[in-house]
Amino acid sequence: MAVLLDGRALGQGIVEGLAPRVAALPRPPGLAVVLVGADPASVIYVRLKARMARTLGLVHRQVDLPQTASEAEVLATVDALNADPAIDGILVQLPLPAQIRREPVLDRVDPAKDVDGFHPENAGLLAQGRPRFVPCTPRGILALFDHHRVPLSGRRAVVVGRSPIVGRPVAALLDQRNATVTVCHTRTADLEAEVRRAAVLVVAVGRPGVVPGAWVRPGAAVVDAGTNRLSDGRVVGDIAPDPALEAAGWLTPVPGGVGPMTIAMLMTSTVESAERRLA
């Protein structure tokens, strides 16, 4: 039976540990979230982030823009937050509506306030092994591994998905922990063979059941970073449920694994940003 990598419990502990650091600052850290439109999943995520920020004593500012907002309007909103000295972290909630290009918006965020770690400058620093901000989901995954003492050095790690939000940065982090990393994607010739070899497996595609549980190697450390809401309202991951999953050594539940850790890491990055800016 796999050891569950419980993100709820660990995330709560991490946030509680931030409280003395927040209290020691001359003012509360400020986190701004830009939400364009009303994507149901995004609305839920933003609400959870706001609740956690306020619980921790952060100043939380949410800027809601309509689904029809132009790219210029979003850029102007980001510019205003960049210039606001009370804001230490800026998060643009993804996905954005079709008329707004993601890259120009994320590139506009001040790298010193980019608590999501998506700006090219921060991605480059991460690739060089000297990160300022690490994307929150990959950082949370590594925190789960560390807390449960999952061995990484020298092990074969497979990351399914190569997005700049999860797949690529988590591959970089695993490489920096001396794992031997393979990144798989839609053009991978034999995905099953790659997954079956993985002692450490991270699946971050955003498609339910893209990896059958029967492919998982016995004893592997398995992270399912997918959060997919089905038509019947159920939330499932990217790995298809299968009795064979019980053979894994470690396993994240969905929900309750990666999601709470993402929010905890966002709070951590915001506090770290405030500490740097107020030093």
Residues with catalytic annotation?
49, 93, 116
Mean pLDDT of 232-241: 91
Say whether pLDDT at 4 is over 90: yes
Instruction: Say if CB 248 and CB 2 are below 8 A apart.
Output: yes
Domain 27-113 has CATH 3.90.230.10: no
Where does the pLDDT of residue 82 fall: very low under 50, low under 70, confident under 90, or very high at 90 and above?
A: very high
Q: Distances from the Cα of 118 to the Cαs of 21, 134, 163, 210, 231, in angstroms?
A: 25, 8, 11, 25, 30
Where does the pLDDT of residue 118 fall: very low under 50, low under 70, confident under 90, or very high at 90 and above?
A: very high
Tokens of 145: 């591994």
pLDDT value at position 268?
Answer: 98
Say whether pLDDT at 229 is over 90: no
pLDDT value at position 1?
Answer: 83
pLDDT value at position 246?
Answer: 84
Mean pLDDT of 79-104: 97
Neighbours of 143 (CB within 10 A): 19
Where does the pLDDT of residue 77 fall: very low under 50, low under 70, confident under 90, or very high at 90 and above?
A: very high
pLDDT tens digit string along 18-53?
999 999 999 999 999 999 999 888 998 999 999 999
The domain covering 136-259 belongs, at the CATH homologous superfamily level, to: NAD(P)-binding Rossmann-like Domain (3.40.50.720)
pLDDT value at position 260?
Answer: 96
Say whether pLDDT at 129 is over 90: yes
Cα distance between residue 207 and residue 214, in whole Å: 17
Residues contacting 187, CB < 8 A, separation 6+? none
Range(s) of the chain covered by CATH 3.40.50.10860: 27-113
Say whether pLDDT at 245 is over 90: no
Range(s) of the chain covered by CATH 3.40.50.720: 136-259
Mean pLDDT of 216-221: 97
Say whether pLDDT at 9 is over 90: yes
Cα distance between residue 138 and residue 133, in whole Å: 11
